[in-house]
Amino acid sequence: MPHLTVTALEPQIAGHERDLIARLTRAVTSVCGERVRDLVVVRLVGLAAGRWAVGGVPCREAAPTVTFAIGEDAFTRADGRQTEARLVAAVTDAVAMTLGEHHRDEIVVDLVAARDGRTAVGGRLVCDAVGREADESRDRAEIDALRAEFTDAAMMNDHDRLAGLFVPDGVVRVPDAGIEAVGRDGIRGLGQQREAGFEVFVQTAHPGVVSLSGDTATGRACLFEAIRIRGGGSHLNYGLYHDRYLRTPEGWRFVERAYEIRYLDSTPLAGRPGGSVTDDGRPHSVQTSEPTG
């Protein structure tokens, strides 16, 4: 978190507060990126006359000083030296342009590497917050992978793999169709039943929201399905999966997937199962040379 403390005599700062804060914030984001804007903290300290002295003599005017604390990782990475130089130049420009160019050559910028393990906000170490953010990002990525694995296993009719994505007593429910499968054996059997009953089955899922709470989570995924039932009947479904997840020693697993159909079109599908690409039995021509004319 970039924290800047500017110290100057009060008469130098008075009336320039807004401009100086804006320029310093832009200076930081010009080097570190817009992503840090909301984290930039600027403190302006104005000293009364007689409280700044050099060589034992109080100053009537003095070049401002800036203490700039920023996470130590900014300096330890490969481009650390370049980052230091750019920060110092940008901050010096901001102060000089606001409080007077005649101070430029004497402005002091002191870069301080703030260690996450020794910096706290709201009573919590920054390193703990960073660690929690990393853990949360990892959990979200693993849950997204779990949901993708579900769709792939269903499309590949890999019923054992699909059942293994659930906790042992996991549940699949489709209330609109009166379907409920409990446990891995039940989920495996439901997949086998689907494969036997459907001539065409295509599912496209789009990950939705996830809400984490320790070792449990809830979420939703949006999906589209194209189904042709053996013996007649077709479905085009647009729906939602309402999910509950649990962290297990094997990773995140489904506790429940409940399928809510939001839109159903039972118009017979005009296409046919995949294979060679044909229209009415005639294969498409494939152009293998550059067009002429």
Helices marked H in the chain — which ranges?
Answer: 10-13, 17-32, 73-76, 80-99, 126-155, 159-163, 183-197
Largest Cα separation within the chain, whole Å, is 100
Query: Is residue 107 a contact partner of residue 96, using CB atoms and an 8 Å limit?
Result: yes
- In tens digits, the chain (293 residues) has pLDDT values of 689 999 999 999 999 999 999 999 999 999 988 888 888 899 999 999 888 888 889 888 889 999 998 877 777 878 888 989 999 999 999 999 999 999 999 999 999 887 666 566 556 655 555 555 567 888 889 999 999 999 999 999 999 999 999 999 999 999 988 999 999 999 999 999 999 999 999 999 888 899 988 889 999 999 999 999 998 889 899 999 999 999 998 899 999 999 999 999 999 988 877 655 555 545 544 444 454 44
Collapse the DSSP code of 172 into the 3-class scheme (helix H, G, I; strand E, B; otherwise coil) and give the result: strand
- Rg of the Cα trace of the chain? 32
Residue 108 — left, alpha, or beta (φ > 0 → left; ψ -120 to 50 → alpha)?
beta
CB-CB contact of 156 with 150 (8 Å): no
Residues in contact with 113: Cβ distance below 8 Å, sequence separation at least 6, in sequence order: 69, 70, 71, 72, 74, 75
Query: In sequence order, what are the residues at sequence separation of 6 or more whose Cβ sits closer than 8 angstroms to the Cβ of residue 72?
Result: 113, 114, 115, 116
